[in-house]
Chain A
Amino acid sequence: MTPDPSVDPFAPPPGGWVRVSPRLAFVRRAIGLAVVLPIGLLVAAVLAVNDLAAIAAAVDAVTVLAAGWLFWVVGRQVRAIGYCERADDLVVTRGVMFRELVIVPYGRMQLVDVRGGPLARRYGMSTLQLHTAAATTDAAIPGLPVAEAGRLRDRLAALGEARTAGL
């Protein structure tokens, strides 16, 4: 029943994973808390005003627990993101509970996007998104420093151009 530690399908490739910026965790936590806390506190306040102090306290407790859980999970998730440029393909990994590892051959990349929300940009990060002809490819690397994202995009585009072979 217990998995053999040597049998890890998500073992890093030779050279190891390049991890993304820890500031991604900060940004994601900030966004998550900005949603969870006001909603929880607002609901609790409305309940308290209506003389339901006990339920309001419970809601407060749940909100604090949810915020703590979010704080912890986001950190783990961000630490689990990694990528590696190999000779013929790019490998991207992510996920803690549901783990995923994607291998995208350079010749299959149709489009490489760099995007970033206002908060991510404020902290100097971008998301690199790879597109192939398959909708299921789903290879995005969030939390890249802007310069690194640009470098990676140009390199991938050049490699893709050199190796593209139709569909």
Chain B
Amino acid sequence: MTELSTPPRRTHPLSPFAKAGQGLSGLVIAVFFFARDIPGGFFARLALVALLLIGAGLLGWVSWWRTTFWFDDDGDLRVASGLFYRNERRLQLSRLQSVEITRPLVARLVGLAEVRPEVAGGENAKIALAYLSEAEASSLRAELLARAAGVRVGHVDAPEPQERPLIRVPAGDLALSMALNHWVIIGTVLGAGFLLTSLLTGHIGGFLAFVFASGLPSLSIVNGYLAYYDFTVAESADGLRLRAGLLSTSSQTVPPGRVQAVRISQPLLWRWKGWVRVQLNVAGSGGHEGNDRSNGTRGSVMLLPVGPVEVAYGLLARVLPGVDIPGVTLVPAPRAARRRSPFQYSQLAAGSDAALFVARGGWLTRGLDVVPHARTQSVRVTQGPWQRLLGLATTHVDSTPGPVTPAARQRSGADARRLAESQAVLAGAARAASRPERWAARPEGTS
């Protein structure tokens, strides 16, 4: 049996400087502009800045020195940190959901990267190793994924598995898709109206409204473009690799079998292009408190920011192997649902087959939510007063936190309950047949 533990390591010595780089400019500006009362003028302020820099640098350096990480005897990752109060955290690798590597702009310029292993339900146990050299980061990721899969590598480096590129989103399509957002169009039209009134009446208020109505949506275009620029999906032995970003880049690996639910959606203006977006619920992924550079909010992974329907289904075949999403028979909502949800009535439908629950809905943005039965957490039936009057109810299939919240909306009452009961039975049956957590481990007794 190989040795599982490794000696403690430190992050890259440049880490404190790369981390400080982000807050530093703010500090310098603050001192120069807000500390006018300091006697002695310019040079006193300069001295103060230098003093603060030295202090901050020293603190940063000591806290860097005090932070170490290693693999313990059980093969789990441990991180010890803390200046005065020592704090040791343990990341249980059997619960590893995905590993993300991000490169914020400053770190990227000096060739550093941050590694974020994601565990299920670990809200208070977020671990981010910042920063490692890029080579070290990718070898650590490979090691984490290999250990999580049950490959006993000991302290030798796990080889980075070969990658096979699957798709790349063209920059032109991405830019157009971000602009083809109905809220952006509405905002621009509104903004143009405000601007016109402002020019005609000479009021500043109209101009401010223009800035809000047109500026904020445009900002979302730019943000989306920067975040998803050069989005690529590649397949490797340890899972799907998702890479994106223009200034700050991120690279995320989702191991097989960790996808909890899928949402395929299509905003209004994408219909004529035939484009869709694909998002995933992955337990414990994304959504770090503080600055959220990672891929969306908590539990959310963008699998495809924009692409043709066929490409989306091609990718989904790798994420959920052996399932047939378009093949699931969907039962439309009853006529009474028109009175409760007139706008999305024509889209409302739901159904399930041996492996999946599928629900369709939405008005401006249409969506298809998919949950494998083996990933269903619980089932709920809800009914509000207006629904009760119409004899309707909604069946929710609960998934882990994320962008996908699957529900068969506005079913007839009896149907909603029947659906819920059958979902609970299917979920139980599918769970019994699901695969083990350490999917690459050899059977017991052979290690």
Set of chain A residues within 8 Å of B405, measured between Cβ atoms = 136
Q: Let me know if B121 and A133 touch, CB within 8 A.
A: yes
- Residues of chain B lying within 8 A (CB to CB) of residue A137: 377-378, 380, 398
- Answer yes or no: A108 CB below 8 A from chain B CBs: yes
Q: When the two chains form their complex, are residues B380 and A110 in contact, meaning their CB atoms are under 8 A apart?
A: no
| B400 and A134 contacting across the interface, CB-CB below 8 Å | yes
Among B258, B388, B398, B417, the most chain A Cβ lie within 10 Å of the Cβ of B398
In the assembled complex, the Cα of A113 lies from the Cα of B2 at a distance in Å of: 39
Q: Report the interface size for chain A: residues with CB under 8 A from the other chain.
A: 36
Instruction: Quote the shortest CB–CB distance from A132 to chain B (angstroms).
Output: 4
On whether the beta carbons of A107 and B431 are closer than 8 Å, the reply is yes
Shortest CB-to-CB span from A93 to chain B, Å, is: 9
- Of A43-51, A70-78, A97-105, A140-148, the stretch lying at the interface with chain B is A97-105
Give B97 Cβ to nearest chain A Cβ, in Å. 8
Number of interface residues of B (CB under 8 A): 44
With both chains docked as a complex, state the minimum distance between the C-beta of B52 and any C-beta of chain A, in angstroms.
Answer: 42
B381-425 CB contacts (< 8 Å) to partner A: 381-385, 388-391, 393, 396, 398-401, 405, 412-414, 416-417, 420-421, 423-425
Q: A1-B389, A136-B398 are in contact. Are A7 and B412 (CB under 8 A)?
A: yes
Contact A88 B428 (CB under 8 A): yes
The DSSP consensus for interface residues of chain A is loop
The answer to whether A9 has its CB under 8 Å from any CB of chain B is yes
CB–CB B391/A7 < 8 A: yes
Nearest residue, chain B, Cβ from A91 = B424
Within 8 Å of chain A (Cβ to Cβ): is B427? yes
Interchain CA distance A153-B251 in the complex, whole Å: 42
Contact, CB under 8 Å: B393 / A9: yes
Smallest CB separation, A140 vs chain B (Å): 13
The reply to whether the CB of A15 lies closer than 8 angstroms to some CB of chain B is no
| A99 contacts across to B, CB distance below 8 A | 382-383, 388
The distance in angstroms between the C-alpha atoms of A105 and B375, with both chains bound, is: 12
- The listed residue (B120, B413, B434) touching A9 by CB distance below 8 A is B413
> Interface readout for A1-15 with B: 1 if CB under 8 Å, 0 if not?
111101111110000
List the A side residues contacting B120 at CB < 8 Å: 133, 167
Contacting residues, chain A, for B412 (C-beta < 8 A): 7
Given the complex, which residues of A lie within 8 Å of B434, measured CB to CB? 165-166
A110 touches B398 (CB 8 A): no
In the complex, what distance in Å separates the CA atom of A101 from the CA atom of B188?
A: 44
Chain B residues with CB under 8 A of A20: none
Interface flags, A57-87, vs B, CB<8A=1, else 0: 0000000000000000000000000000000
A135-B260 contact in complex given A3-B413, A100-B381, A103-B380, C-beta closer than 8 Å = no
Docked-complex contact A165 and B432, CB < 8 angstroms: yes
Cβ-based interface call for B379 (8 A)? yes
Identity of the chain B residue whose Cβ is nearest the Cβ of A110 in the assembled complex: B121
A132 to B431, CA, bound (A): 14
Q: A105-B431, A134-B401, A136-B396 are in contact. Are A98 and B377 (CB under 8 A)?
A: no
Cross-interface CB contact of B398 among A8, A88, A97, A132, cutoff 8 Å:
A132
Q: How far is the CB of B140 from chain A (nearest CB, A)?
A: 24
Tell yes or no: B283 within 8 A of A by CB.
Answer: yes
Establish whether residues A101 and B375, one from each chain, have CB atoms under 8 Å apart when the complex forms.
Answer: no
**How far is the CB of B333 from the nearest CB of chain A, in Å?**
14
Report whether A105 and B416 are in contact in the complex, using a CB–CB cutoff of 8 Å: no
B383 touches A88 (CB 8 A): no
Q: Which of B398, B421, B431 contacts A134 (CB 8 A)?
A: B398
Asked if A9 contacts B378 (CB within 8 A), the reply is: no
A25 at the interface (CB under 8 A from B): no
B437 within 8 A of A: yes
CA distance A166 to B396 in the complex (A): 21
A101-B381, A103-B378, A137-B398 known, 11 other contacts, Cβ within 8 Å: A2-B391, A10-B383, A10-B417, A100-B383, A102-B378, A102-B379, A103-B424, A107-B431, A108-B377, A132-B398, A138-B380
- 30 chain-A/chain-B pairs, Cβ below 8 angstroms: A3-B391, A3-B413, A7-B412, A7-B414, A9-B417, A9-B420, A89-B424, A89-B428, A99-B383, A100-B380, A101-B380, A101-B382, A103-B380, A103-B420, A103-B424, A104-B378, A108-B378, A132-B377, A133-B260, A133-B377, A133-B400, A134-B377, A134-B378, A134-B401, A136-B396, A136-B398, A137-B378, A139-B378, A163-B431, A165-B434
Interfacial residues, chain A to chain B (CB-CB below 8 A): 1-4, 6-11, 88-89, 97-105, 107-108, 110, 132-139, 163, 165-167
